[in-house]
Amino acid sequence: MRVALATCTRLRRQRRRPRPRRALAGLGVRAEPAIWDADVDWSRYDLVVIRTTWDYTHRPDEFLAWADRLPHVLNPASVLRWNTDKRYLRDLADAGVPVVPTRWDPDDVPSDWPEYVIKPAVSAGSRDTARWTAAEHARARAHLRGLRDAGRTVMVQPYLSHIDTAGETALVFLDGEFSHAARKAPILAPGTGVQGLVLPGDGRGEITAATATDAELDVVPLTLAAVPDAPGLLYARVDLVPGPDGDPVVLELELAEPNLFLRHGPGAVEVLAKAVLARL
């Protein structure tokens, strides 16, 4: 059996650990990285697992059309289509999931939030995301208008101050079961943005192992229940931050190409490999 671990050109030659290829090989499955937009005969693979296709945000329509053509892909193409545009947060909010308040394509920057974040709805690794204060409205307006002029859907969210001390908590689920948690340090300073991808090991957003709280885990069932084709998920990552009252709210739900922080979950690589084998 042969599995493709879909990646992108920038990451093809990076040494990344832990690697599920060895765990899959121990189960009799040959896994190999394959660049999603390269000239690849995808029909020779029994399964394509979306892993680090982190440049898709430059060409999202092309990426989704490619996923639609694959005979067997995880997560499913329908999930990728729903999750690669952060407007899915509106679906989560409609389902009663506590999410970070979001204003979509506003005409101007907010006057009622002392700090806020502007970002595009289609992005990965915090690309084109910036944190602004009320004293920087002129630069913030330029950021907002630049995204809108480029035809991109714009999100504006309040900057939740608890992030500065608590960071973000990522809850990783493999084959429908909770695996492990990781803590992501804040990466946005006031008046600064991120122009390129935040990649593991580049010194931004340090990742450490974490222990999920009951309150954080309680948010997950309703969140995943709102996902189309949720039973078909191979993996999921729910990113939570403390809301204004300290209770966890969903910042993002990562189902397309998330870093799963496998090295912070003892046995997680083996769990993922067994889940892939089960799908085969």
Is the domain of 207 the same as that of 92? yes
Of 115 and 205, the structure prediction assigns the larger pLDDT to 115
How far is it, in rounded angstroms, from Cα 280 to Cα 277?
A: 5
How much is the pLDDT for 194? 53
Residue 33 sits in which domain range?
2-83
Q: How many domains does the chain have?
A: 3
Tell me the per-residue pLDDT of 75-93, one tens digit each, with 9 for 90 and over. Answer: 999 999 999 999 999 999 9
- Any bridge partners for residue 37, and if so which? none
Is the domain of 122 the same as that of 10? no
**Residue 277 domain-assigned?**
no
| Integer angstrom CA distances of residue 94 from 2, 90, 226, 244 | 40, 6, 9, 20
Tell me the per-residue pLDDT of 165-197, one tens digit each, with 9 for 90 and over. Answer: 899 999 999 999 999 999 998 878 776 655 544
Is the domain of 192 the same as that of 59? no
For the entire predicted model, the pTM comes to 0.91
CATH number at residue 79: 3.40.50
Is the domain of 18 the same as that of 129? no
Give the confidence band of 128 by pLDDT, cuts at 50, 70, 90. confident
Return phi, psi of residue 16, to 5°. Answer: -125, 130
Average pLDDT over residues 104-115: 95
**Residue 267 domain-assigned?**
no
How much is the pLDDT for 232? 83
Is the domain of 232 the same as that of 247? yes
Tell me the per-residue pLDDT of 28-65, one tens digit each, with 9 for 90 and over. Answer: 999 999 999 999 999 999 999 999 999 998 899 999 99
Is the domain of 92 the same as that of 199? yes
How much is the pLDDT for 202? 47
Is the domain of 95 the same as that of 187? yes
How much is the pLDDT for 198? 47
Contacts of 243 (CB under 8 A, 6+ apart): 98, 100, 160, 162, 249
Q: Is the per-residue pLDDT at 15 higher than 80? A: no
Is the domain of 174 the same as that of 245? yes
**Residue 266 domain-assigned?**
no
**Residue 244 domain-assigned?**
yes
Dihedral of alpha carbons 170, 171, 172, 175, sign: negative
How much is the pLDDT for 209? 95
Is the domain of 111 the same as that of 187? no
How much is the pLDDT for 230? 80
**Token reading at 96:** 């009663």
Q: Which of 158, 173, 196 is the last residue of a domain?
A: 158
Q: Is the per-residue pLDDT at 14 higher than 70? A: no
Tell me the per-residue pLDDT of 267-280, one tens digit each, with 9 for 90 and over. Answer: 999 999 999 999 99
Is the domain of 144 the same as that of 184? no
Q: Which of 55, 83, 111 is the last residue of a domain?
A: 83
How much is the pLDDT for 274? 97
Tell me the per-residue pLDDT of 134-147, one tens digit each, with 9 for 90 and over. Answer: 899 999 999 999 99
Tell me the per-residue pLDDT of 182-238, one tens digit each, with 9 for 90 and over. Answer: 999 887 877 665 554 444 554 456 899 999 999 999 999 999 999 988 888 999 999
CATH number at residue 190: 3.30.470.20
Return phi, psi of residue 249, to 5°. Answer: -130, 155
**Residue 171 domain-assigned?**
yes
Dihedral of alpha carbons 85, 86, 89, 92, sign: positive
**Residue 65 domain-assigned?**
yes
Is the domain of 57 the same as that of 151? no
**Residue 280 domain-assigned?**
no
How far is it, in rounded angstroms, from Cα 275 to Cα 210?
A: 23
Q: Which of 115, 135, 158 is the last residue of a domain?
A: 158
Is the domain of 211 the same as that of 180? yes
Reading across the β-sheet that carries 192-194, which strands appear in turn?
Answer: 103-104, 154-158, 115-120, 129-133, 192-194
How far is it, in rounded angstroms, from Cα 233 to Cα 129?
A: 28
**Residue 178 domain-assigned?**
yes
8 A C-beta contact, residue 276 and residue 6: no
